[in-house]
């Protein structure tokens, strides 16, 4: 397999400009849905004069039969990127992807998407760098965000932080489905404890810091409520990518996608390699809540 050196898709920054993000340190999950879709528009068409997705797959070490399998997918580029993330979580980085595109001579893609990709990298790194430990303003004792009282049942002194079975990632337009989820999973024999941001989180703190704290330390799992509206939510995008970064390739089964409505747009590419719980399928709807509850009850 050919090896390519990593570089930027744009020129060097001028004097006094902030340093560009280190793309080798940014996992592929940082790329948002619109960038992945644009990559597919460039790479999916089979053209004799330009390297397509099959050339990229060969550079990544995929064999003939694997490429033939991907060829049957409606968006083979997106499926290739998902599969690469799953099989090589440590090596599937934005920098590696850019280096391969450069080695394949796809400078048109780098010119068009370089700015968008850099923005995605910056946003990812900024969110990852949100502080989780800050000095308390009324005490000489340093307190972490976990100790400061961020949910309705938290001890404000941090002795008994509130814990949950699952964090629910959802957009506002799907709140009615989330309310049904509360009824089916909390108010039944399952007796699960869900973290629903609008209900359980106290106002007044940084949204990104609170979210990171809840997903990483307070909740055993995360349910992602998928719909067309989910695709337009920056908050949902961050929460999903943050949870995926904690469990590359879904090895710990921390993240559970739930399709709550029929969709006009494509299912999020970064979640296609994880088994979905589909509320819209009438044939399996009667088992839906049991399957979801048992997934959340797993250690």
Name beta bridge partners: 1.
none
Average pLDDT over residues 12-29: 62
Q: Looking at the predicted structure, is the pLDDT value of residue 194 above 80?
A: yes
Structure tokens at 133: 């430990």
Looking at residue 118, which CATH number applies to its domain?
1.10.533.10
Looking at 108, 129, 150, the residue that finishes a domain is: 129
Structure tokens at 136: 């308390």
* Residues 293 and 210 both lie in one domain: yes
Give the pTM.
0.55
CB within 8 Å of 250: residues ≥ 6 apart = 86, 244, 273, 274
Domain that holds residue 205: 164-297
Distance between CA atoms of 25 and 116, rounded to whole angstroms?
A: 17
Report how many domains make up the chain. 2
Whether 136 maps to a domain, the answer reads no
**Three-class SS state of 297:** helix
Q: Which residue has the higher pLDDT, 167 or 158?
A: 167
Structure tokens at 239: 């929460």
Distance between CA atoms of 40 and 56, rounded to whole angstroms?
A: 12
* Residues 110 and 193 both lie in one domain: no
Q: Which residue has the higher pLDDT, 18 or 190?
A: 190
Degrees, nearest 5: CA angle 99-235-192: 115
Looking at 129, 156, 187, the residue that finishes a domain is: 129
Whether 8 maps to a domain, the answer reads no
For a pLDDT cut of 70, what percent of the chain falls above it?
Answer: 81
* Residues 234 and 281 both lie in one domain: yes
* Residues 198 and 122 both lie in one domain: no
* Residues 169 and 284 both lie in one domain: yes
Band (159; pLDDT cuts 50, 70, 90): low
Residue 112 Ramachandran class (φ > 0 left, ψ -120 to 50 alpha, else beta): alpha
* Residues 202 and 264 both lie in one domain: yes
Distance between CA atoms of 237 and 234, rounded to whole angstroms?
A: 5
For a pLDDT cut of 90, what percent of the chain falls above it?
Answer: 39
* Residues 172 and 84 both lie in one domain: no
**Which of 237, 226, 236 shows the shortest CA–CA distance to 277?**
226
Least confident of 68-77, 175-184, 190-199, 234-243: 68-77
Whether 243 maps to a domain, the answer reads yes
* Residues 122 and 206 both lie in one domain: no
Residue with tokens 């450069």: 102
- Strand locations in the chain, DSSP E? 133-135, 142-144, 164-169, 194-195, 219-226, 255-259, 277-278
């Amino acid at each position: 397999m050919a090896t390519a050196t990593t570089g930027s898709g744009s020129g060097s920054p001028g004097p006094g400009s902030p340093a560009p993000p280190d793309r080798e340190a940014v996992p592929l999950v940082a790329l948002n849905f619109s960038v992945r879709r644009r990559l597919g528009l460039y790479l999916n068409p089979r053209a004799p004069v330009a390297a397509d997705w099959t050339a990229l797959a060969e550079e990544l070490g995929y064999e003939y039969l694997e490429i033939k399998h991907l060829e049957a997918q409606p968006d083979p580029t997106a499926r290739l990127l998902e599969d690469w993330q799953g099989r090589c979580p440590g090596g599937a980085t934005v920098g590696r992807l850019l280096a391969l595109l450069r080695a394949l001579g796809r400078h048109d893609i780098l010119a068009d998407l370089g700015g968008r990709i850099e923005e995605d990298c910056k946003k990812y790194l900024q969110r990852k760098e949100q502080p989780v430990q800050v000095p308390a303003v009324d005490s000489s004792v340093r307190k972490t965000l976990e100790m400061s009282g961020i949910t309705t049942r938290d001890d404000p002194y941090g002795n008994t932080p509130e814990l949950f079975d699952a964090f629910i990632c959802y957009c506002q337009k799907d709140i009615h489905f989330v309310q049904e989820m509360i009824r089916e999973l909390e108010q039944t024999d399952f007796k699960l404890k869900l973290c629903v941001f609008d209900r359980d989180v106290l106002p007044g703190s940084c949204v990104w810091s609170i979210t990171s704290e809840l997903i990483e330390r307070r909740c055993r799992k995360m349910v992602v409520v998928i719909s067309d509206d989910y695709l337009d939510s920056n908050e949902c995008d961050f929460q999903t990518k943050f949870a995926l970064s904690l469990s590359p390739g879904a090895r710990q089964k921390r993240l559970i996608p739930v399709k709550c409505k029929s969709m006009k747009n494509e299912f999020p590419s970064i979640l296609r390699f994880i088994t979905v719980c589909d509320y819209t399928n009438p044939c399996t709807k009667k088992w839906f809540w049991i399957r979801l509850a048992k997934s959340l009850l797993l250690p």
